[in-house]
Each structure stands twice: as C-alpha cells, then as structure tokens.
C-alpha cells in the first residue's frame, strides 16, 4: 500500500470510531440493558472472497522493473479467486453498547490466471491452483436495542489480510524457477449484523462486512519488493495493488465468567 492509501485508511478508522462514539454517547450502559459487561470468545462460518471490483481479475501480473535496482526477471501472477466457505475464531469484550474484538479468518479458494504463460509466452493460457485467504482483524462494534435479547450492531475494523497462492511466482531463466507467492497488506472494513442473546453466556450472531485492502508486499520466488515490480509492465503502477471483498458470516459466542 502506498503512503496516501495507508494514511487514508488510518484516518478513516479513527474518524469513524470517533463519530460513532459521539453520536451514541447518551446511550451508554443503562440499568435496563440485557448485556451490561461481557468477555467472550466465538466461532464463525464464513462465505468469503478477496476482491470483486479491484485488481484481482486473474488477467494481471507483476514483472521486474528492469531499469530499477534489480535485474532478476521475476513474474508474479495476480489471480482471481472464487468465493468459498471458511471459518473464523475471535475473542472480545463488551461494555454496555460497545465491544472490541480481535479475530482470525481463513478460507480456501481456487485461484485462476488467464493470460500469457511464463513457460510458452503464449496468450490465452488458463492456470488454476489452490489458494488460501487469511486475515487478522481488529473490530469495534456498537449495539442497538440493548434492552432486548435480539440486538443489531454496526462495526468498523482494521484488517491485515494475506493471500497465499501455490506456484504462482516465477524467476524466468531458461528453465523457470517456480515458487508459491504470498500477497499481503492492510485493510479497512465496515459491517452490520444482529446478535441474539440467550443469556450472558451464549449468543447466536451473523452479519456482513465489506473490506477494502491495499496490498503492499508480494513474497515470491525471488523475494523482490513490490515497489520494484510493475503491474502489467506499467511503470505508473509500480507497487500498487488494490482489492475489496464482500463477506458473510454466522456463528456463536460464549461468555467467560
């Protein structure tokens, strides 16, 4: 992620939390709240994807900047990935209508590239391979209708996703050296959902969130930094890769006494 994108993501997170906190300051924990204070852990089933409208189209590739500091001819494919099911685990704490969580998400996918083959240098080649999308997320939630056992919430998050793709990175000597690649970055997410509490010890919850991510590192065959790589050979797109994904989840949480 470039510095402007990182700055925007950080400021957006700070402003969103601040605005929400001020807007609902008058609704802090009251005597009639169904949940007053709660420490909990939980598990989700998820339907996840990395990107719908960004750069992960399965037709792009990073190549070495031959005029830069490296002469190693590395090629890193940028895949598209199919939506697939996964899981998440989380721990959190709630005080009145506010909660903070840290979670780990994982889903396995099929990655696809359709373009010019590194081996034959011919277009129209389609490659499919396994991929794994993982993320560590920090989320802040604000609950509504807190006097009822069924409560709606909105959440804002700071996300650290990475995508591992099998054998999608190449060093193009006469015989290409093939390796796995990992594309990682930092993201910002907004979401909403509902939670049904049976009591302080157990709840059923589900929701949706949209994640926007700027990817600032590709760990490929030659370990070349992303700012020394060109996206589809375009010098104006060195070190830039953007993605977004719409995610759905449902699961349970368990209170810790």
As a whole-number percent, the residues of the chain with pLDDT over 90 amount to 54
Position 32 in a domain: no
| Average pLDDT value over all residues in the chain | 84
Whole-number pLDDT of residue 123 = 64
SS3 223: coil
Distance CA 199, CA 220 (A): 48
Query: Mean of the pLDDT values across residues 44-50?
Result: 95
Give the model's pLDDT for residue 128: 92
What pLDDT does 201 receive?
Answer: 92
Residue among 145, 256, 153 nearest 200 (CA)? 256
For 10-19, 35-44, 139-148, 226-235, which range has the lowest pLDDT when averaged over its residues? Answer: 10-19
Euclidean distance between CA atoms 153 and 34, whole angstroms: 14
Check pLDDT > 80 for residue 141.
yes
pLDDT one-digit tens code per residue, 67-80: 544 556 788 999 99
132 Cβ contact list (under 8 Å, min separation 6): 106, 107, 108, 109, 163, 164
pLDDT at residue number 4: 47
Can you tell me the mean pLDDT for 154-178? Answer: 88
How do beta strands 74-78 and 150-171 pair?
antiparallel
Least confident of 16-25, 108-117, 152-161: 16-25
Domain membership of residue 102 as a residue range = 3-18+45-196+208-253
Count the domains in the chain.
1
Q: Would 37 be classed as within a structural domain? A: no
- Asked if the structure places residue 14 within a domain, the reply is yes
The pLDDT > 70 percentage for the chain reads: 79
**pLDDT tens digit string along 183-229?**
999 999 999 999 999 988 999 999 999 999 998 888 888 888 887 88
Q: Would you say residue 139 lies in a domain?
A: yes
Question: Does residue 36 belong to any structural domain of this protein?
Answer: no
Q: What is the rounded average pLDDT of the residues 12-40? A: 63
The answer, yes or no, to whether residue 135 has pLDDT greater than 70, is yes
Q: What angle do CA 82, 189, 60 make, to 5 degrees?
A: 40
Task: Answer whether residue 8 shows pLDDT above 70.
Answer: no
- Mean of the pLDDT values across residues 103-128? 81
Rounded Cα–Cα distance for residues 224 and 54 (Å) = 23
Please check whether residue 26 lies inside any domain of the structure: no
Report if residue 70 sits inside a domain.
Answer: yes
38 located within any domain: no
């Amino acid at each position: 992620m470039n510095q402007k994108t990182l700055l925007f993501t950080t400021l957006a997170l700070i402003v969103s939390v601040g605005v929400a906190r001020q807007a609902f300051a008058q609704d802090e924990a009251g005597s009639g709240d169904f949940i007053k204070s709660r420490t909990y852990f939980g598990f989700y089933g998820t339907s996840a994807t990395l990107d719908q409208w960004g750069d992960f189209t399965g037709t792009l590739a990073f190549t070495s900047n031959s005029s830069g500091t490296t002469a190693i001819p590395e090629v890193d494919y940028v895949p598209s990935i199919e939506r697939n099911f996964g899981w998440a685990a989380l721990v959190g704490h709630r005080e009145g209508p506010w909660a903070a969580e840290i979670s780990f998400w994982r889903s396995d996918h099929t990655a696809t590239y359709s373009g010019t083959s590194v081996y034959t240098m011919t277009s129209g080649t389609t490659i499919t391979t396994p991929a794994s999308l993982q993320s560590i997320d920090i989320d802040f939630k604000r609950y509504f209708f807190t006097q009822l056992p069924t409560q709606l919430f909105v959440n804002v998050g700071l996300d650290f996703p990475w995508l591992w793709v099998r054998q999608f990175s190449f060093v193009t000597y006469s015989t290409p050296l093939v390796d796995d690649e990992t594309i990682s970055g930092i993201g910002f997410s907004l979401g909403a959902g509902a939670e049904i509490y049976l009591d302080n010890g157990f709840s059923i919850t589900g929701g949706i969130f949209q994640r926007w991510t700027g990817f600032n590192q590709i760990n490929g065959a030659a370990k070349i930094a992303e700012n020394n790589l060109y996206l589809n050979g375009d010098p104006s797109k060195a070190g830039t890769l953007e993605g977004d994904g719409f995610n759905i989840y449902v699961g349970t949480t368990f209170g810790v006494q």
